[in-house]
Amino acid sequence: MLVHSRAGRWAAWGLFGLLFLPLFALPLLVVVAASFATYWSGALPSGPTTANYAAAVRGESLQALTTSLITAVAASLLALTVGTWAALAGAALRRRGKRLLDALFMLPVAVPSVVVGLAVLVAFSRPPVLLNGTGSIVVLAHTVLVTAFAHRSVSAAIVRLDPAYEQAAASLGARPAYVLWRVRLPLLLPSLTAAAGLCFALSMGELSATMMLYPPDWTPLPVRIFTATDRGSLFSGSAVAVVLMATTLLVLLAVSRIRTRASYR
Amino acid sequence: MPRSVWALPPVVVLAVLFLYPLALVVQQSLTPDNGGGAFDAYARVFGSRAFLDALGTTVWLAVGATLGCLVLGFTLALVIAFVPFPGARAVAKFIDVFLSFPSFLITLALLFVYGTVGMANGLVTEFTGAAEGPFHFLTTPWGVLLAEITYFTPFVIRPLLAAFSQLETAQLEVAAGLGARPARIVRRVILPEALPALGAGGSLVLVMCLNEFGIVLFTGAKDVTTLPMLIYGKAILESDYPAACVVAVVNIAISVGLFGLYRVVSKRAGA
């Protein structure tokens, strides 16, 4: 306890509320409020309606939602595979090799997402691989962007792993592949699911790289929100944004339940 | 078979999907496919007013937003950790959720709060009867600055809360028992402990602000152009790929350099 006087404590809480509520709580509330409104000309939104949601779950918006879900699931699975493989292989390397591998896999975080989008667009619009105009170019770009996060959280978990388990398994005659499949991966499962949730959330909200290379028939939710608000349909855009937030939260919640069940094993 | 062979498949995937495209961007910036000599595109871009303006805007916005995030994040983390109130844990949880949302939602929300027909302007016009509200800063760089500070402050709060939880509370009690006032305790005990976390959080936020695109795009302001916006404009709107590649190379150089700095700082901080 830093402040002992009652008045001082209330002053600190007052300052906190004054900063925290308008800056962090208000934006999310405002988007939710706007998604139920038809116009907003006074202090509060008016014309309560659910028409925005009716529009947000059919037609192009529904297509954008499924596009986003497919992209996020595919990119997360790819990123998790590559990132976990790299983290496991890196743990077996010597110090210098491990540091090189870590730096290599962190690089996509340091490079601006817009540049990642531009680079993937330039590289796959020419032979030998032509992907421009297909949905898979979006999936590829998302994979590049989220692999770094998968790699980082899995390699942090590998460092904390108790080597006694795998040594015991190996001393009982288990082959390396068996130790990996039956001992190390199950022990890593909580961090794998956490990494999957993180990758999914990042991919669902990705806009920068996507804007560079999305084809007209593969528009994820963030692009859909942008085109709606850019046209001036702020309220239907808000409803789509709420759908995006709710989907992300639901998946994160589901993933955290898997994690708690796995950690009881 | 040496163990390092197992590291090859993921490295090959990364090389094909990321390193090869990046190398192509650098190559395109030097010798474009559609003709032109080496460094022609560089001379053209570096000589243009738009590029210099974008560079200046990007840097001052990023530095300003980082300073704002540090001050605000330190203040909020201080209250959460040391003047706890019922629901402080829920606030910490809320901050984690906040981080999983995309940045452009903040700009969208600010349109309803400070936009021409939003909450703040609506309140003022209802009270004063004026035809127009006083808030018009959303389409200026200040709107971008406000959105960036809002979105990135949690990235400072999180490492700070982790650092504060390591702090021995007995130190605070002893300092208070010896008669130190709260301001002095913050300055002499808490701030030195928090410096590594502030450095790590601040440099991460600096890199992310330099590369931020969604917030600026949603603002829709014509006169706020940052480097990522310039890349998007050159490549997608003007189809001038050589120029886009040149700006991209500059942007990569700045942010990879700063990110290297972040890695060094956060290693020192033990994060």
Q: Given CB atoms, is A136 within the 8 Å cutoff of chain B?
A: no
Confirm whether A130 is domain-assigned.
yes
Tell me the average pLDDT across B88-108.
85
CA–CA gap between residue A54 and residue A49 (Å, rounded): 10
**pLDDT score, position A129:** 79
Looking at the structure, do residues A55 and A130 belong to the same domain, yes or no?
A: yes
Contact A101, B11 (CB under 8 A): yes
Rounded to an integer, what distance in angstroms lies between the CA atom of residue A216 and that of residue A210?
11
Whole-number pLDDT of residue B1: 57
Q: What is the CATH number of the domain that holds B73?
A: 1.10.3720.10
- DSSP assignments along A114-151, one per residue: HHHHHHHHHHTEETTEE-TTSHHHHHHHHHHHHHHHHH
Q: Whole-prediction pTM value?
A: 0.88
Domain-embedded: residue A45: no
Q: Which of B79, B110, B182 sits opposite A27 (nearest CB)?
A: B110
Domain assignment present for B58: yes
Q: A12: domain range?
A: 1-35
| pLDDT tens readout for residues A27-74 | 888 888 888 888 777 777 777 888 888 887 788 888 899 999 999 999
| Contact B102/A at CB under 8 A | yes
Q: Note whether residue B184 is domain-resident.
A: yes
Q: A54 — contact with chain B (CB < 8 Å)?
A: no
- Could you tell me if A127 and A153 lie in one domain? yes
Phi, psi of A129 (to 5 degrees): -115, 115
Residue ranges in chain A whose pLDDT is less than 50: 265
Q: Supply the CATH number for residue A98's domain.
A: 1.10.3720.10
For residue A118, tell me if it sits in a domain.
Answer: yes
Q: Are residues A59 and A21 in the same domain?
A: no
Q: Look at residue B63 in the predicted model and tell me its pLDDT.
A: 93
Specify if A147 maps to a domain: yes
- pLDDT score, position A222: 93
Inspect the interface and report whether the beta carbons of B252 and A112 lie closer than 8 Å: yes
Instruction: Identify whether A246 is part of a domain.
Output: yes
pLDDT of residue B36: 67
> Does the residue A5 lie in any domain?
yes
pLDDT above 90 covers a percentage of chain B that reads 22
Domain of residue B265, residue span? 41-269
Shared domain check, A106 and A22: no
Residue A259: per-residue pLDDT: 60
Task: Retrieve residue B254's tokens.
Answer: 């700045």
Q: How far apart are CA B91 and CA B97, in angstroms?
A: 10
B19 domain residue, yes or no: no
Q: Is residue B207 part of a domain?
A: yes
Q: Does residue A8 belong to the interface with chain B, where contact is any CB pair within 8 Å?
A: yes
Residue B25 lies in a domain: no
Do A225 and A184 belong together in one domain?
yes
- Whole-angstrom distance, CA of residue B18 vs CA of residue A128: 16
Quick one: closest CA in B to A84, which residue?
B10
B223 pLDDT exceeds 80?
no
Give the tens place of pLDDT for each residue, B171-219. 888 888 888 888 888 888 888 888 888 888 888 899 899 989 999 998 8
Mean residue pLDDT across chain B? 85
Residue A46 lies in a domain: no
- On whether residue B8 sits in a domain, the answer given is no
Domain identity same for A84 and A209:
yes
Q: How many domains does chain B have?
A: 1
Q: Which of A7-11, B44-48, B135-139, B153-157 has maximum average pLDDT?
A: B153-157
Q: Which of chain B's residues have a Cβ under 8 Å away from the Cβ of A90?
A: 7
- Tens of pLDDT, residue by residue over B8-62, are 889 999 998 999 999 999 988 887 776 666 777 788 888 888 888 899 999 999 9
Q: Which residues 183-242 of chain B have a CB within 8 Å of chain A? A: 185-186, 190, 207, 210-211, 213-214, 217-218, 220, 227-228, 231-232, 235-236, 241
pLDDT of residue A48: 81
Q: Are residues A134 and A94 in the same domain?
A: yes
**Residues B244/B234, Cβ–Cβ less than 8 Å:** yes
DSSP type of residue B82: H
- What does DSSP say about strands A129-130 and A125-126: parallel, antiparallel, or unpaired? antiparallel
Residue A140 shares a structural domain with residue A94: yes
**For residue B113, which residues of chain A lie inside 8 Å, CB to CB?**
26-27, 30
* Per-residue pLDDT, A60: 84
CB contact under 8 A, A1 and B252: no
Helix axes B104-114, B141-166, angle to 10 degrees: 120
| Residue B20 forms part of a structural domain | no
Q: Which site among B17, B70, B152 would you substitute to test the A interface, given the most A Cβ atoms closer than 10 Å to its Cβ?
A: B17
Same domain, A4 and A94: no
pLDDT at A165: 87
- Gap between the Cα atoms of A97 and A238, Å rounded: 47
Residues A155, A56, single domain; the answer is yes
Q: Which residue is listed with tokens 């939880």?
A: B165
| Predicted pLDDT of residue B27 | 87
Residues of A in contact with B85 (CB under 8 A): 13, 16
Q: How far apart are the first and last CA of chain B?
A: 35
Q: Can you tell me whether residue A157 is helix, strand or coil? A: helix
Q: How confident is the model at residue B269 (pLDDT cuts 50, 70, 90)?
A: low
* A2 and A58 within one domain: no
Residue B1 domain-assigned? no
Same domain assignment for residues A173 and A55: yes
pLDDT at A58: 80
Nearest Cα of chain A lies from the Cα of B170 at a distance, in angstroms, of 10
At B122, give phi and psi (nearest 5°): -60, -45
Number of structural domains (chain A) is 2
